[in-house]
Amino acid sequence: MTKTWFITGTSTGLGRLLTQRLLERGDRVVATVRKQGALDELLKKHGERLHVITLDVTDTQAIRTVLANAFTRMGRIDIVVSNAGYGLFGASEEVSDEQIDRQIATNLMGSIQLIRAALPHLRAQGGGRIVQVSSEGGQIAYPNFSLYHASKWGIEGFVESVAQEVAPFGIDFLLVEPGPTGTNFAEGLDHAKTMACYEETPAGEVRRGVASGDFAINGDAVKTVDAMVSAADAAKPPLRLALGSTAYASIRQALTERLRVLEAQKAVSLSTDRD
């Protein structure tokens, strides 16, 4: 059955590959880009099944207008994919106020406002699905990515709450959590101005690992996208989907450690209840 998708951040990376794979199987896609011309090759090949719109997800009013027009034009949109985002690379003390504002405005507020704008349309049509592209970084944290993690942990909390609010309307969510994957994510990093005092710290170690290419990238982009599509097609997908061996191992380790610490606190936790 042919489906209609709305996807943000399709110029490069997983967003572009997802758009390409869906078009190849015969689906319809409304794809947003920041710069015109980014999808001209796909547009020429797939014609009327691809609609390309310029959108900056930091512009809330533009999000609302673009989504409203897309639902009107397509008649129905089955799956909305919130994918636009990038990484801010630097220790928390190194990044500038402007860099922080842009990271939160894009990754967190842009995703929140896209979801909020989609809900009335999905509710009016009797349901639908929202796929939020997060990261293993929505459940674990590396040094030197603190603001990126803040945006991903934030959107995961938002989605987990909203999913409960709108389930009665037939709207559900899928949080996709890829580990390091062979895309151009590293090329799109916004780098902070480094401070020498962080060179011999965990932040400096991560910085050197990324620069040298020693930071392991095990995820395959095509397999990652195919797994995303399969999950989005499923009748009842999980709320969270970790993709890649690195994501699975790191999230499992983090959850296991959190549970261990929580269990050790049980007596203290229960002791603070009212008598």
Q: Which residue in 111, 148, 151, 250 is the catalytic one?
A: 148
Identified catalytic residue from 11, 82, 111, 134? 134
Given the residues 11, 86, 152, 198, select the one marked as catalytic: 152
**Hey, what are 69's tokens?**
């027009």
Residue 135 bears catalytic tag: no
CA–chain centroid gap for 234, Å, is 19
What is the C-alpha to C-alpha distance for residues 122 and 80, in angstroms, rounded to an integer? 9
DSSP state of 215: S
Q: Cα dihedral angle (238, 83, 118, 128), rounded to 10 degrees?
A: -30
CA proximity to 145, closest of 134, 137, 154, 153: 137
Integer angstrom CA distances of residue 203 from 196, 254, 271: 11, 19, 38
Residue 264, classed as helix, strand or coil, is helix
The answer to whether residues 207 and 195 touch, using CB atoms and an 8 Å cutoff, is no
Query: Among this protein's residues, is 152 annotated catalytic?
Result: yes
Give Cα 53 to chain centroid, integer Å: 19
Residue 42 phi/psi, 5-degree rounding, is -70, -35
CB-based contact 111:226 (threshold 8 Å): no
- Annotation marks residue 245 as catalytic: no
State the catalytic residues.
134, 148, 152
